[in-house]
Amino acid sequence: MTPTSKSTTPEEDEHDSFVRQALEQAAFCEPVPTAFCVGCILVARLPDSEPIVLSKGFSRELPGNTHAEANALAKFESLSSTQLQSLVSPWSWEAVPVIEDLLLLADVYTTLEPCSVRTSGLPACADALICARIRRCIIGVREPDDFVKCEGAQKMKDAGIEVIWYGGLEQECLDAARRSR
């Protein structure tokens, strides 16, 4: 290792990989001047298993001025039991996997801090993640105050969700968010 290179842990490398996948999702987002472009990856961490990507989402992917985190959750929650079983196969526990149990083992990787308020009146992403009872939220960059003052990370922390600010791709995440401007 050279004196200028940074040593990373396997977990940091994993965070980097999933935040980059979230950035790829953000690139699918149709830019608009009144909202950010955000990508999200929902990952399950089962015991004695590699992480499993449960769902992906991006802003405005689904109808109704939707956000990335809400879309990833909605797509995951709409899986049939057969789809769910194949996603987490082989499943080592006796009971059939259920969405609610997997969400307890889930990490959300998002390019931008989950919103705490929506000017459209729709539910905030931080609230959706709290209701889903996810384990952790790994965030690429804090939401700028362009539209609203975001307190999504604090809201999730207050609800017992571990929040990790991933410190490797902030500028890329911010550039992706503001692609429409």
Where does the chain have alpha helices with state H?
10-26, 68-77, 81-87, 99-103, 125-132, 152-158, 170-177
Given 14, 69, 113, 143, which residue is catalytic? 69
For the question of residue 69 being annotated catalytic, the response is yes
Q: Contact, 118 vs 81, CB < 8 A? A: no
Whole-angstrom Cα distance, residue 60 to residue 93?
36
Neighbours of 64 (CB within 10 A): 9
The two tokens of residue 150 are 């975001």
Burial class (CB in 10 A: 0-12, 13-18, 19+), 96: exposed
Closest CA to 141 of 173, 114, 180, 117: 173
Name residue 93's amino acid.
W
Q: Residues near 119 by Cβ (< 8 Å), separated by ≥ 6? A: 147, 148
| Catalytic machinery residues | 69
